């Protein structure tokens, strides 16, 4: 059982690069549902960036997006055909690697998202910061 303490937690990270984990596997926007599902399961991912033909980020697909598709397909009695582009949220929130950690957290709260991608100056995805990553950096 957890007990209350009076010590303050401090964030042991300076920047988005400090908070992020680099294990991000992009999903091609034309990938079929079963491939997206396999990627999410095989990589134990909760989100994945969806990329266009040149590798440019065009959206994000989450476990929740996949579950919603399964629920909606259940009415028909079979999983409907869909691609990552059909399933994705067409907005991908990102910050630069040098973004201060406090701004990353503020952006996550204001945007009401559990993940922020970290992108370099060209827009290429370098990593992702999850709410759990932030918690892991509290000491």
- CATH of residue 55's domain is 3.10.580.10
Question: Domain for residue 49, yes or no?
Answer: yes
Residue 56: partners with Cβ closer than 8 Å, 6 or more residues away = 123
Environment class of residue 35 by beta-carbon count within 10 Å: exposed (0-12), middle (13-18) or buried (19+)?
Answer: middle
Q: Which residues contact 40 (CB under 8 A, 6 or more apart)?
A: 46, 48, 61, 63, 66
* H or E element, residue 128: strand 125-130
pTM of the entire predicted model: 0.88
Residue at 121 is within a domain: yes
Residue 94 in any domain: the answer is yes
pLDDT (0 to 100) of residue 75:
84
Q: How many domains does the chain have?
A: 1
Per-residue pLDDT of the chain (139 residues; tens, 9 = 90+): 666 667 889 999 999 999 999 989 999 999 999 999 999 999 999 999 999 999 999 999 999 999 999 999 988 889 999 999 999 999 999 999 999 999 999 999 999 999 999 999 999 999 999 999 999 999 9
Eight-class DSSP state of 60:
E
Q: Which residues, including other chains, have CB under 8 Å from residue 100's CB and lie 6 or more apart?
A: 14, 15, 16
In a domain, 11, yes or no: no
| Inter-axis angle of helices 63-74 and 33-42, nearest 10 | 140
* Residue-number span of the structural domain to which 111 is assigned: 16-136
């Amino acid at each position: 059982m957890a007990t209350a303490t009076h010590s303050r937690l401090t964030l042991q990270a300076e920047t988005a690069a400090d908070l992020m984990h680099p294990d991000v596997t992009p999903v091609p926007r034309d990938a079929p549902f079963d491939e997206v599902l396999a990627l999410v399961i095989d990589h134990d991912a909760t989100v994945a960036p969806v990329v266009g033909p040149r590798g440019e980020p065009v959206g994000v697909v989450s476990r929740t997006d996949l579950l919603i598709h399964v629920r909606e397909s259940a009415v028909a009695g079979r999983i409907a055909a869909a691609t990552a582009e059909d399933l994705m949220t067409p907005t991908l929130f990102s910050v630069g690697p040098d973004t201060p950690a406090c701004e990353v957290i503020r952006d996550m709260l204001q945007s009401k998202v559990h993940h922020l991608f970290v992108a370099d100056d060209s827009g290429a995805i370098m990593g992702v910061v999850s709410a759990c990553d932030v918690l892991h950096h509290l000491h």
